[in-house]
Amino acid sequence: MKVKIDVDENHPETSITIHCSQVDDSVKEILDFLHEKKQTFVVGKSGESQHILKPEHIQFFRTEDEAVFAYTKESSFKVKDKLYELERSLPSQRFVRISKSVLANIYEMSRFEPSFNGTLCVYFKSGEKEYASRHYVGRIKEMLNMNRRDSR
């Protein structure tokens, strides 16, 4: 990636132009940074206690009976945000939608197994598992570079 900076006091304002052949993960990461799309913590409730959760420690978010829960290795916490709000505010290079009701941390996934009807069974480092619906399988494979052909 080539970076050019043009410093000139005659520029009326700072502007950024990105020239690329496609919007890949590195470009998305830059855009996330520029748009400050980095939620530094999520507040979750367990019982009467409020917990401050770092996004990198959250394995996935799941919608259950119109409530959203954050799952860590240790526990689950009810969060106030809707799933689509979390998807917008969390880093797109870390979190991926795997089904209509689950937003997963790609770095907390441990393995996949093909399941029925083209879905994937996604296993997390904690041993938890969720199913990725066919609609989202392509995006998961894209994020993990699984679409590359074996060069043997």
As a whole number of angstroms, the distance between CA 2 and CA 26 comes to 12
Taking only the tens place, the pLDDT of each residue in 2-49 is 888 888 889 888 888 888 898 887 888 787 777 655 567 899 999 999
The Cα–Cα gap between 104 and 122 comes to 9
Q: Tokens at residue 132, please?
A: 């990725």
Under 8 Å between Cβ of 70 and 102: no
> Which domains are seen in the chain, by residue range?
42-144 (2.40.50.1020)
Q: Extract the tokens encoding 98.
A: 């795997």
Asked whether the CA dihedral 51, 56, 60, 61 is positive or negative, the reply is positive
Amino acid of residue 96: V
Tokens of 2: 């080539």
Q: What is the pLDDT of residues 45-88, one digit of tens each?
A: 999 999 999 999 999 999 999 999 999 999 999 999 999 999 98
Residue 19 burial (CB < 10 Å; 0-12/13-18/19+)?
Answer: exposed
